[in-house]
Each structure stands twice: as structure tokens, then as C-alpha cells.
Amino acid sequence: MSIKLKDDSSSEDEESTLVTVSKHKKSSKKITKSVKRESSDEDDDILHAARKKQKRLKKDLKDTKTRNSHENGKSSHKTKKKTSKTIKKESENIDDEDKTLADVASQSQLSSSTKASSVDIKESSEDFKWWENNDKEDDSIKWTTLRHNGVIFPPEYQPLPSHVKLYYDGKPVDLPPQAEEVAGFFAAMLETDHVKLPIFQKNFMHDFLEVLKENGGTRNNVEIKDFEKLDFTKIAEYFQVQKEQKKQLSPQEKKQLKLEKEEFEKPYKFCEIDGRIEQVGNFRIEPPGLFRGRGAHPKNGKLKRRVYPEDVVLNLDKNAPIPEPPKGHKWGEIRHDNTVQWLSMWRENITNSFKYVRFAANSTLKGISDFKKFEKARMLKDHIDKVRADYKAKLKSPKTLDRQMAVATYLIDVFALRAGGEKSEDEADTVGCCSLRYEHVTLKPPNTVIFDFLGKDSIRYYQEVEVDAQVFKNLKIFKRPPSGPGHQLFDRLDPSILNKHLQNYMPGLTAKVFRTYNASKTMQDQLDLIPNEGTVAEKMLRYNAANRTVAILCNHQRTVTKGHATSVQKATERIEELEWQKVRYKRAILQLDKSERKKDPNYFKEIDDLSKEEELTIHKRIIEREREKYKRKFERENEKRKFDKEEALPDSQLMEWLAKVDDLEKQYQRESDTGIIEVRESLKNVEKLKQQVERLEKRITNASLQLKDKEDNSTVALGTSKINYIDPRLSVAFCKKFDVPIEKVFTKTLREKFRWAIESADENWRF
């Protein structure tokens, strides 16, 4: 069998015929099923046809849903249920149809495989609501049937055109394609910071020379020795040009390419598990390239080699047809392991570990795991008091192991530290709780601790915090000589010892559960503080603030975007200018009616607060910006005209524009000299001016709020906690309770991932 998800257009006629036929056929589902089990040869085709059917149904379902939610808004709950019921009924009939379909489909050209298979198609994946059955069956078996079409391999290497070459010591180098590819990897990264790292250059050079040697060395007898003498710029320029060309394609061409790509990927994007069609996550084999480790990774710059079908293991059910490997190749291994949830795997050459092709985040298995994770964290609620009381008591235990265990648990619980497993020499030096060393913790009496270490992804954890007095004492003991820099703080501990101990409190309790628990608990507490008032935007601001609290707890960071500093400066200047404009209008008011000042002196106070110098700076800035604006406009317009083969704008046009700016500059100058504001006729009215001031004030508060939010968020990543730590049902309950559309909180992909939460939690749900 090969699972084929034909696009609707190509098979529409056929389908509609089938639908009509099937409408007259009404047989019981059970019978159909049993017949299907016995059937053999045609099953592929049955499956295939049914797939299409499912797809059509899914589409219908979607359409109906969309329509419902549009028409009925939030009150569509009942309608939805009804809709899906109707559809379920219809989908039961699918099985009937399939029977009928079999002959038709097997004769059609749709299916290429003749392998035997038997699969019950129970439901379309969108109908399957695993969270509505709470049967706690054995979860070591992940599936009974699993079939898929394998993986997509990266395209073969396309050698560079002969005029594009690597240069060594000024001389062009003829490289064998294998080595040229590696040189190309480096060239493509020339603009990144990575290539500046000495370790990156060294590792690259080593692997590059190795590949070169493997393939017979350079072909024009250039001997490459020094990295310094390599010149990649010609290759980099070539890539740049190619990129530009791609950008230049017409929108239609782009669309066409995208469509073709999607069409090609379709068969790999979906798989079939227990009769349901579900999405595959990463169905593409990782392309070769230069390893980009995070932080000071000793293997940075090494060549990540190309993966061939021979390196790849496929996991399918025993009866599943084996996908065709790429021409001239064989699969490394075919496995039938239903205790795991990967579809395919291969070994990667940098760290010698496995890479897996797995289900997408919206899949049943991932959903169940996710659900279980949060349920486990919720279960900790019932044990946390005991755990805390225990570690508090054990802080004074006479046994060092117990004390270490108590302190470690405290740190994991209170500061949400990770477990901190041991790492080998050829990885970046990062730590978590158990692997903390002497130098990562500084003690400041009476009870302040400064944590400073690199955690996962080499993200710095820096916190100056007050801790429990006994924790402080213990840390002091752990740091006593002979301990010193380089020594483990918890020398008797590692995650497996700690976790084993934690299991005593609750089955399945491990260090990471505390992170989930505390993150979700914090979110719940923060959400509880939000009053149900104000606009959706205001509520979202609060929600994000709550989210941020969690992200900070978990130390989820992001690097500030390259434009951040400038964009903050711009926003600040913008606010200053708005303030100035406001003052200007207020002056104009006084010009019209001096008595206004007596009526409300406070209102006009800020006029005096603005110094002459400040004002002049603002003038200059505005004028400067206006000039730039017109110059840019002029250039851009001419570029466009050149491209369209039109006549360029005359310089006089630019002069004309700039003259306008000159006028403005003069006006500001006059206003500054005389103190008389020149507002336009329509604004020579106290009421109108006051309105303007009010509008400006609104804009200022808005801009200031946005700026503050931007600043607060610049180094904090909210996404990670939203995706991994905060029980999605909290967000769902928040939305339902506060009348916030779920789209504001979860993106489309997150809504799919968290469908179980969206459909199971109501406004009263609590973590």
C-alpha cells in the first residue's frame, strides 16, 4: 500500500459518483468491518479511497464548523455537537462506501501497490476524541497499525557553475563536488557570527580537508593548508544572486512553486495510525551542513554528513507495505516496534545520537502524552505539602546525602531549576541543579545567594535571591574545603538518585514535574488576580503579563532582536515629538485666549517644562527626518521608473519637495524666535485645539504603554512556557470566562495542538 492523499481536484468526478452510489447502499458497520478483515488484495485501494472520503468529510466538517462559529459566535456549542454527530453518522456510512469503492478504486490508476493489508477505518482523525474516553489501558503499546510513506531526503548536491570558485591564496581552486559542497556550507554562513569562532573555523577546516582528501584532493593541484588563505566570497556572492533571483519571481510563479512543493510533500506529511490519518511532524531528513551548536560547543563547525536511505530505519506495522526507497538505494532497516512512537530514525554523526521522525504536535499520541504530563503535574498538588515539609525537615538531617537531596529539591521547587544531568567533555559546559559547581553559587550573608551559571542552550541564569536560612547554611557547608572551584556542589547527587527519591512521594514524580507544576500553578494564581473588566486588548495585556511571570520563573530568554535598540530609540523620540506637538497646541490655545491659563494652570504647566534646547533638538530631528523621507522617496520612485523603463523624475521635483521642508524649518525657526505658534486656520479655535491635545494625549499613553511592553518583553520569550509548561486548559478557561476569543491566546497551530484542552475545559476549570 502507499497512502495517497490525492488532491481533491483530480479525483472529484470519481468521488461524487461514488457518493451517489453509496447513498443507496445501507449495510451495517459491523458486517463491513468483518468483511474487510478478510479481504486482502483490494484493501490498499479501499484504504486509499476511504482516505479520500475522509478528507472530503474533514473538509466538510471544517466548513460547517467555520460557518457555525461565524454565524453563532460563542453560542455555537450545541450546534457544533449536533454537526459532528451528523457527520459521525455519515462517516459510519463511509465503510459501506468503501466496499463499493473497492472495485472502482482497484481498477483505477490511483493505487500502485498490491500488498495485502487490513485496517479498520474507524473514524476520521478529526472525529477522534481520545480525551472523551478515560480508559486507562496499557500505554506501553502505542499503536496496532502504523503505515506511512517514509521520509523526504534533501536534494542531491548541485555543483556550482564552473566560473564560481573557492580561492586559495588568490588562486582559484578546482574542488571535487563533495568538497565544494562543504566549502559552500561555509560560504553560506559567511555573514553569521558562527564563522568567526576559532573553534568553528578549526573544526570546519579539519572536516573540509578530510572530505577533500577522501575525494582525491583539489583537481588543479592547489594545496590547501591555511584557513586564513581561503576566500569564500565568490561563492557567497553567487548564493546571494541566486537568492535575489528567487525573490524576483512573479507572485504567480512563487505560488506555483509553493503548490508543487506541497503536492510533493503531501504523501509524507500524513501517516496512518490505527486506521486514522494523522500528521507527521518532521518528515524531512535533516540536510547536511555545518554543525551550529549553542554556546561554546566544542563541535561547532563540524560537518554534519548527508544521510542516505541506508542509514535510515523505518518503523511500520508488520503488514504495512514498505515504502519505495529512492532509486538505487535500500532502507537501512525495517522495524515493527509498536512500543515506540517514532516512524523513522537515523543516527547523526556529530554527537552519535539518534534523530527521529515523529508525529506532529496535533497528533493523538502527542496529545495524550501532553495531557498526561499536565495531569501528573496536577497530581503533585496533593503531594506538594508533604514534599515541602519533608525537604524542610531534612535540611537538618545528619546525613549529607539527605541534606543535599533536601537542598536540591528546594532549589528545583523554588527556583524552577532543571535536574542537571552529567555532561561529557565534548559538549558545551552547561549545568542544572545536580551539576551545579562551587563557582556557580555565591553566598552573601545573612541569606542571599547569587546564582550565575549557563543552563540549557547556554542561556545564562543569573539571580540574586534570598533563601531559607537553613538552605543557606547547607550551601555554606557544601562549599567548605576541600571543595573549591570546579567541584560539584552536590557531590553525592545526580538526577537519577534524586528522581528515585521523589518517586517515594508520588509515582512518576521527577524533577521536571516541578517545573510544570510551578509554572501552571503560577499561571493560575496570576490569572486569578485579573479582574473581568475592560477591553479584550486590556485583558490580553494582563494575560501576557501573567504569561511573562511564568516565563521569568522558567528563565525563558531570547536574544534581543538586532533592531531593538534603534526601534526603542525611535519610539522614545516619537513620544517626545508627540509631547512637543502637544505643548505647541497648548501654546496656541493661550495665544487665542490668555485667560485659559488662569482657569487651569496645571494644564499649561508643561509648556514651561520644555526647555529651549530640547525643543530645538526636536525641531532638528523632525526636519532631518522629513528631508530623508523625501530623498528616499525620490530615489525609490526613480528606481521603479528605471525598472519600468520610464523617464526619471527631474531633480527639480526633489528640490520642490525639499523646499517644502525648508519652509517648515523656517516656520519652526520663527515660532522659536517669536514664540508665536502658526497653526492652520481650521485650528484657530480653543475647543478644536483642546480636542487635538486630547488626541495627542491618548496617542502618547498608547505609545508609552507599547514601549514599556516592548522593553519588558525584549529579553523574555513567552512562547516556550505557553507551549510546554502552562496547562492549556488554564488559557481556555480564561478565554471562556473573560469572553476573549481563543485566537487571541493560541495561534492556529497551538489550537490544533491543544484541541483536547479547548474542547474539554470550561470556564470553571482549575489547575
Distance in Å, CB of 284 to DNA, minimum: 5
Q: Which residue's entry shows cell 553566598?
A: 443
HSE at residue 53, side-chain half, CA atoms within 13 A, is 32
Distance in Å, CB of 364 to DNA, minimum: 12
Q: Among 292, 298, 303, which residue's Cα sits nearest to residue 207?
A: 303
Residues annotated as catalytic (active site), given as ranges: 725
User: In the complex with DNA, which residue's Cβ is closer, 41 or 426?
Assistant: 426
Site for DNA in 636-675 (CB under 7 A): 636
The phi-psi region of residue 494 (left if phi > 0; otherwise alpha if psi is between -120 and 50; otherwise beta) is beta
Q: Which helix (H) or strand (E) holds 700?
A: helix 686-713
- The answer to the question of residue 82 lying near DNA (CB under 7 A) is no
- By CB under 7 A, the count of residues binding DNA is 81
Residue by residue, DSSP assigns 622-670 as HHHHHHHHHHHHHHHHHHHHHHTT-PPPPHHHHHHHHHHHHHHHHHHHH
> Distance between CA 588 and CA 686 in Å, rounded?
8
Q: Are 417 and 402 in contact (CB under 8 A)?
A: no
Q: Among 59, 150, 123, 148, which residue's Cα sits nearest to residue 364?
A: 123
- The answer to the question of residue 282 lying near DNA (CB under 7 A) is yes
- The answer to the question of residue 325 lying near DNA (CB under 7 A) is no
Q: Which residue's entry shows cell 473581568?
A: 532
- The answer to the question of residue 291 lying near DNA (CB under 7 A) is yes
Distance in Å, CB of 711 to DNA, minimum: 11
- Residues ≥6 apart with Cβ < 8 Å to 450: 441, 442, 443, 444, 462, 463, 464, 465
Distance in Å, CB of 370 to DNA, minimum: 7
- Residues ≥6 apart with Cβ < 8 Å to 286: 154, 304, 307, 348, 355
Region binding DNA by CB under 7 A among candidate stretches 62-70, 89-97, 207-215, 417-425: 417-425
Site for DNA in 602-641 (CB under 7 A): 636
Site for DNA in 717-736 (CB under 7 A): 717, 719-721, 724-725
User: In the complex with DNA, which residue's Cβ is closer, 447 or 499?
Assistant: 499
- The answer to the question of residue 538 lying near DNA (CB under 7 A) is no
Distance in Å, CB of 456 to DNA, minimum: 4
- The answer to the question of residue 563 lying near DNA (CB under 7 A) is yes
Q: How many residues does the chain have?
A: 767
- In three-state secondary structure terms, 307 is coil
- The answer to the question of residue 540 lying near DNA (CB under 7 A) is no
Distance in Å, CB of 494 to DNA, minimum: 9
Which one among 14, 127, 348, 615 touches DNA, defined by CB under 7 A?
348
Distance in Å, CB of 514 to DNA, minimum: 8
- The answer to the question of residue 367 lying near DNA (CB under 7 A) is no
Which one among 427, 468, 615, 665 touches DNA, defined by CB under 7 A?
427
- The answer to the question of residue 349 lying near DNA (CB under 7 A) is no
Distance in Å, CB of 683 to DNA, minimum: 20
Distance in Å, CB of 3 to DNA, minimum: 19
Burial status of residue 469 (CB atoms within 10 A of its CB: 0-12, 13-18, 19 or more): exposed
- The answer to the question of residue 354 lying near DNA (CB under 7 A) is yes
Region binding DNA by CB under 7 A among candidate stretches 196-204, 338-346, 587-595, 654-662: 338-346
Distance in Å, CB of 393 to DNA, minimum: 23
Distance in Å, CB of 555 to DNA, minimum: 7
- The answer to the question of residue 459 lying near DNA (CB under 7 A) is yes
User: In the complex with DNA, which residue's Cβ is closer, 104 or 571?
Assistant: 571
Q: Among 38, 11, 10, 30, which residue's Cα sits nearest to residue 101?
A: 11
Region binding DNA by CB under 7 A among candidate stretches 104-112, 218-226, 560-568, 665-673: 560-568
- The answer to the question of residue 182 lying near DNA (CB under 7 A) is no
Q: Are 683 and 689 in contact (CB under 8 A)?
A: yes
Site for DNA in 20-59 (CB under 7 A): none
- Residues ≥6 apart with Cβ < 8 Å to 449: 441, 442, 443, 464, 465, 466, 467, 471, 472, 475
User: In the complex with DNA, which residue's Cβ is closer, 221 or 339?
Assistant: 339
Site for DNA in 736-765 (CB under 7 A): 747-750
The dihedrals phi and psi of 693, each to the nearest 5 degrees, come to -60, -45
Rg (CA), the chain: 33
Binding mask 131-160 for DNA (x = CB under 7 A): ---------x-x------------------
- The answer to the question of residue 366 lying near DNA (CB under 7 A) is yes
User: In the complex with DNA, which residue's Cβ is closer, 28 or 503?
Assistant: 503
Alpha-carbon distances of 718 from 190, 624, 706, rounded to whole Å: 31, 37, 16
User: In the complex with DNA, which residue's Cβ is closer, 275 or 293?
Assistant: 293
Burial status of residue 315 (CB atoms within 10 A of its CB: 0-12, 13-18, 19 or more): buried
Distance in Å, CB of 757 to DNA, minimum: 14
- The answer to the question of residue 463 lying near DNA (CB under 7 A) is no
- The answer to the question of residue 184 lying near DNA (CB under 7 A) is no
HSE at residue 170, side-chain half, CA atoms within 13 A, is 0
User: In the complex with DNA, which residue's Cβ is closer, 113 or 721?
Assistant: 721
User: In the complex with DNA, which residue's Cβ is closer, 355 or 487?
Assistant: 355
- The answer to the question of residue 513 lying near DNA (CB under 7 A) is yes
> Distance between CA 178 and CA 234 in Å, rounded?
18
Which one among 176, 295, 379, 552 touches DNA, defined by CB under 7 A?
295
User: In the complex with DNA, which residue's Cβ is closer, 172 or 298?
Assistant: 298
Cα dihedral value 158, 162, 163, 168, nearest 10: 90
Binding mask 686-715 for DNA (x = CB under 7 A): ------------------------x-----
Site for DNA in 474-493 (CB under 7 A): none
How is residue 335 annotated by DSSP? E
Binding mask 574-593 for DNA (x = CB under 7 A): x-------------------
Beta bridge partners of 454: 460
User: In the complex with DNA, which residue's Cβ is closer, 206 or 512?
Assistant: 512
Which one among 164, 280, 493, 511 touches DNA, defined by CB under 7 A?
511
| HEC-encoded secondary structure of 153-200 | CCCCCCCCCCCCCEEECCEEECCCHHHHHHHHHHHHCCCCCHHHCHHH
- The answer to the question of residue 279 lying near DNA (CB under 7 A) is no
- The answer to the question of residue 457 lying near DNA (CB under 7 A) is yes
- In three-state secondary structure terms, 279 is strand
User: In the complex with DNA, which residue's Cβ is closer, 353 or 602?
Assistant: 353
Distance in Å, CB of 279 to DNA, minimum: 10
- The answer to the question of residue 79 lying near DNA (CB under 7 A) is no
- The answer to the question of residue 342 lying near DNA (CB under 7 A) is yes
> Distance between CA 558 and CA 637 in Å, rounded?
38
Q: Which helix (H) or strand (E) holds 757?
A: helix 755-760
> Distance between CA 153 and CA 327 in Å, rounded?
12
